[in-house]
Chain A
Amino acid sequence: QVQLVESGGGVVQPGRSLRLSCAASGFTVSSYGMHWVRQAPGKGLEWVAVIWYDGSTKYYADSVKGRFIISRDDSKNTLYLEKNSLRAEDTAVYYCARDIAPTIPYGMDVWGQGTTVTVSS
């Protein structure tokens, strides 16, 4: 069964760091572009970051560039989001998601259930 399961969310103080994980099953993360998308409470969806299927390229939203790092561990079939210098506005549900196709910009078809990050002192 194709599935993504996020973990690592929680309450963290401003300026601290947190790493989110997204474990994949039923497919190989190294065969697809993998994304992080977030949703602040009561707000819409915000695309955060992507890592190319071959790992060669990463892109970030301007709001997280220089603070967040997307990576993956192919041996664990797991995607990560390292979040540094956290701010109150980073409070959101974070979803990982898979591209529909590895090299064609169709969109995202498999999503995790989301993990909640609250940045508060």
Chain B
Amino acid sequence: DIQMTQSPSSVSASVGDRVTITCRASQGISNWLAWYQQKPGKAPKVLIYAASSLQSGVPSRFSGSGSGTDFTLTISSLQPEDFATYYCQQADIFPRTFGPGTKVDIK
């Protein structure tokens, strides 16, 4: 199975801050990576697919990059509604493993 790691596990930030989350796969997955946002008690919401493609309806302050084993999710200017937990998921092979999550909370 492909193991996914994320760093940091949590980050405290202020509105307007630039936030970067890193995801690493234990083996190359080309660009088959998705990023999800999850708020407490809610289902996940896809933000980015194919490593860098913005899902329809997602604000442009979210961006993704990377390929192979190393990927990043960047929030260019953190907004109040962005405080949540973010997960990466590899979509290259089954089982489609998720990273452990990065919690973004208010500083």
Contact = CB atoms under 8 A, between A and B. Distances in A.
Interface residues of A, number: 23
A111 B1 CA distance: 24
A77 to B, nearest CB: 19
Interface residues of B, number: 25
A37 B91 CA distance: 13
Q: Is the interface of B mostly helix, strand, loop or mixed?
A: loop
A101 to B, nearest CB: 9
Contacts, number: 63
B87 A44 contact: yes
Interface of A: 35, 37, 44-47, 50, 59-62, 95, 97, 100, 105-109, 111-114
Interface of B: 1, 32, 34, 36, 38, 43-46, 49-50, 53, 55, 87, 89, 91-92, 94-101
Contacts of B44: 37, 45, 95, 97, 108, 111
Contacts of B95: 47, 59-62
A112 B46 CA distance: 13
A59 B94 contact: yes
A112 B95 CA distance: 20
